[in-house]
Structure 1
Amino acid sequence: MASNPFLLAADNDPRLLPLLRAHPSLASSQDDHGYSVMHAAASYNHLDLLRTLVNEFHVNVDLVDEDGETALFVAETVDCAKLLVEELHANITIRNEEGKTAREKVVEEGDFPEVAVYLRMKELEAQVNGLRSEAGTNGVHAPPPLPEGLSVNIGSMAPEEVGEVVDPVFKQRIEELAAREDFQSEEGQWQLRELVTEALRGEVNERDVRQRTS
């Protein structure tokens, strides 16, 4: 039991790293269900261990278990999710065997709404970055970077709002803006910036849709 890397990882036991350095292949090992040291470290919020696994032992941050789920699917804190996504470059678009992303699974289970909101923010950011990239590819001046110093109250959005309200509204509004002839102009870029700021703050809601379609 003492040499079981999964149990040692769950406890962040000081014996784990010497064991892994003596037997490096254990760092990427998985049990019969695909559970890995990465999953254990993420589940128990051992951030330094996650860094070590990826940076020293080169473990795939997107290693999946038998359910097709990566370590991001078991992250229970925003700090852990942020580390995986922003520092270790975990893929937020991976879907498990049920066809759900990590954010969609968190929303469905409803246990960690802060993590769901954080992941939704990263999805919105990726959508806008993709739009900016496409504009640049077409020889058009891309919109400016996302707002700096943006403060997000992650307690202001319910889990169901993350998946059911923001998605269609943001998609509709950004498509409308991108279709405008003045999208590349200073005014169009300013409106894109304002739209992203609204979306990240959770200010886009169903009422906006009714007002725009009435």
Structure 2
Amino acid sequence: MAQQQNPFLLAADNSPALLPLLRENPALASAQDEHGYSLVHAAASYNHPDLLRILVREFHVDVNLKDEDYETSLFVVETLEAAKVLVEELAADVRHRSSEGLTARGKMEAEGDFPAVAAYLATVERYNSDDSVESVAAAAIPDIINPPPKGMKLTVGTMDHAEDVPSQVNPEFRRRIEEMAQRDDFDTPTGQADLRKLVEDAIMDQGLGDERNVRSKRA
């Protein structure tokens, strides 16, 4: 009797032998080794987006399956293609934290790995915070105005819609923020500097910086 092939190796190689094996024994699709490593981890790590889709959609494997370090497949992804499939198609949780308290993006940044993927995940995290353009700008505002203008309350990285966001958001500002968020260098120092400048200009245009402007003119 032939020995059963290792499904984790088959997934890493994206072997044509894997799917027949899984369809014969579907329970293997969600199997994990002694370290919690799974087929979705392997497919993500070795950039097999089609295999990821099949595992999650056909075999109903949890895309957020966790290994012994409480890390999901998003923590081992190395390419933008696989990251986008996990996040945009399969709803992987970008805010999940490992046993070390890091998100996938945080781990990549801490280790200096896959900067393009880390930048993409950072952008997704911003938009997922409250699904608003204002949330993207909010992260930059504390660096621009300290203390904030009278009547405007700030929290690091977030704004409450009713109280913290100006009642009238300049449509041009909104459009420019949306365009900037699509830039490849959005999370680089240059991109963030441009964002801070854009937010500063918008604040001054909306009259939130009037008091500071008066002082500067008097100086």
Q: Same fold (TM over 0.5)?
A: yes
Q: Percent identity over the alignment? A: 47
Pairwise CA distance, 1:173:
8.2
- Give the AA of the match of 2:97: R
**1:149 maps to which residue?**
none
1:55-204 map, 5 Å = 55-129=57-131, 131=132, 168-169=139-140, 175=159, 179-183=164-168, 187-201=169-183, 202=186, 203-204=191-192
Question: In the TM superposition, what is the alpha-carbon distance from 1:96 to its structure 2 partner?
Answer: 0.3
Q: Which amino acid aligns with 2:180?
A: E
Of structures 1 and 2, the larger Rg is shown by 2
| Structure 1 residues 28 and 167, CA gap change in structure 2 (3 angstroms) | farther
Count of equivalent residues = 178
1:191 counterpart letter in structure 2: F
- Residues 5-20 of structure 1 mapped to structure 2, 5 A cutoff: 5-20=7-22
**Residue in structure 2 matching 1:205, options 169, 184, 193:** 193
Residues in 2 aligned to 1:34 and 1:59: alpha-carbon distance in whole angstroms: 14
Show the counterpart of 1:158: none
| Deviation, structure 1 residue 197 | 3.5
Q: Which amino acid aligns with 1:194?
A: R
Say whether the 8 Å CA contact 1:170–1:204 is kept in structure 2: no
Instruction: Report how far residue 181 of structure 1 moved.
Output: 4.4
* 1:37 Cα offset (Å): 0.6
Deviations 1:99-122 (A, max 9, x none): 000000111111210101111111
CA–CA separation in structure 2 for the residues paired with 1:97 and 1:174: 25
TM-score, normalising length: structure 2:
0.70
Structure with the bigger RCO (C-alpha within 8 Å, sep 6+) is 1
**TM-score, length-scaled by structure 1:** 0.71
CA displacement, residues 174-207 of structure 1 (integer Å, 9 cap, x when unaligned): 7499625423xxx445434433443553233299
Q: Which runs of 4+ in 1 moved over 6 A?
A: none
Q: Which amino acid aligns with 2:26?
A: P
Q: Structure 1 unaligned segments of length 5 or more: list them.
A: 133-142, 147-165
Aligned CA-pair RMSD: 3.2
Letter aligned with residue 176 of structure 2 = E
What 5-or-longer segments of structure 2 have no aligned partner? 143-155, 201-208, 213-219
